Amino acid sequence: AQSVTQLGSHVSVSEGALVLLRCNYSSSVPPYLFWYVQYPNQGLQLLLKYTTGATLVKGINGFEAEFKKSETSFHLTKPSAHMSDAAEYFCAVSTPGTYKYIFGTGTRLKVLA
């Protein structure tokens, strides 16, 4: 069975500081991995996804994530936080040939001025 663990339900960073949101997955087969962002009172929006190929994936708004098979991780990073990055971030996993995403419980990012 697949699962996703997001470490830290709340993360605070100062504006301009590095953003690091952690995601670890469990999957018996090579996974597909996604990061979604949810701004207040909005639906989820895809930030980036890893399917195959290059393990460093770049997404929108300056975010990127690296797939590390040995660590079963897919952490999300951004070099410099902006106030507009304040939102909730969800990691999700799926497997080839399926339609179903398994979502993590989310990490709420707060950016301090």
Partner 1 sequence: DAGVIQSPRHEVTEMGQEVTLRCKPISGHNSLFWYRQTMMRGLELLIYFNNNVPIDDSGMPEDRFSAKMPNASFSTLKIQPSEPRDSAVYFCASSLVRGGGTDTQYFGPGTRLTVL
36-65 per-residue burial string, b: 16 or more CB within 10 A, e: under 16: bbeeeeeebeebbbbeeeeeebebeeebbb
By CB under 8 A, tell whether 40 contacts partner 1: no
Give the tokens for residue 66. 């690296």
* Count, residues near partner 1 per rule CB under 8 A: 24
By CB under 8 A, tell whether 74 contacts partner 1: no
Q: Among residues 54, 83, 99, 113, which is the contact residue for partner 1, using CB under 8 A?
A: 99
Residues 49-68 that bind partner 1 (CB under 8 A): 49, 51
Nearer to partner 1, 44 or 81 (CB): 44
Binding site for partner 1 (CB under 8 A): 32, 34, 36, 41-46, 49, 51, 90, 94-101, 103-106
